[in-house]
Amino acid sequence: MANSFHRVSQSLGRDSGMGSTVALLIAAMIVTAWLAWAFNSRITRYEVSDSARVEVDRAAYPVQASASGRLVASALVLGAEVQTGEILAELDSNPERLSLQEERTRLAALQPQLGALQSQLASEERGQTDERRLLSFSVEGARARYQEAEAQAALAEQQAARAARLQSEGILATADAERAKAEARSKRAAAENLKIAISRLEPELRVREQDRDVRQKQILADIAKLEADIATSSAAIQRLRYEIDRRRIRASISGRLGECASLHPGSEV
């Protein structure tokens, strides 16, 4: 028993801890290497799918035009880098451009016509208001004159009746009585003329308003027609712009152009 204890004590004395330290260092290096591999390495993953598309590097993509025609411009250079949406070629669009210019000219001519009609309509409305006000003042003035003439006619008739009575009594001469009677008839006729003039003013106002309403309705119809023409012309301009844009062949994706034989100005696409 004493001999065994002595051997254990000697073994513990010879063990200085160097082996454990080396083992720990090796373990730490292994863990570090594993972590570096786990974060930086690439692992191929395989998935199962019923449908898939296989692409290779520098795969070819067809360049297609949404319209057919004669090629007039081309930027197709073998190996050139292009971006999505970049114009690669352009088809002949002269007929569409001429039609577009024609529609723009027509639209530019329609706008002033519309402005003139709108100004005319506003003038008619202002004229209608001013005419109503003027005729209203005319009617009021005619009524005031009629009332004054009516009063003068009534006074002249009273004086004529008094003159006739004085004539019958032999106090007033016949000529004076006849003169008073004539003056009364004259003033009555003037009052009646003013009354007739008043009765004619209101129908005249209605006739003028009807004529002005007819003109305003015609102007409104012309404005509506011009607005429809402007809308049609604007829609035609948008359509022609779209047609011109359709004749520009654009890159659908970014990448490098491959060989595009037979695509040169003058060729049919």
Answering whether pTM is above 0.85, one says: no
Q: What is the pLDDT along the chain (269 residues), one digit of tens a residue?
A: 445 545 545 554 555 556 667 677 787 788 787 777 767 766 666 666 666 665 545 555 555 666 677 777 777 666 677 777 777 777 777 888 899 999 999 999 998 998 899 898 888 888 777 777 777 777 777 788 888 888 888 888 888 888 888 778 777 777 777 888 888 888 888 888 888 877 777 777 777 778 888 888 999 999 999 999 999 999 999 999 888 888 877 766 666 666 444 455 555 55
Cα gap 132→122, rounded to integer Å: 16
Cα gap 235→198, rounded to integer Å: 56
* Residue where the block lists tokens 């035009």: 65
CB 220 within 8 A of CB 165: no
Three-class SS state of 88? strand
Closest CA to 243 of 109, 111, 110, 103: 103
CB 241 within 8 A of CB 101: no
Which amino acid is it at 137?
A: F
CA distance readout (Å), 67 to 48, 213, 241, 243: 40, 52, 14, 9
Give residue 268's pLDDT.
54
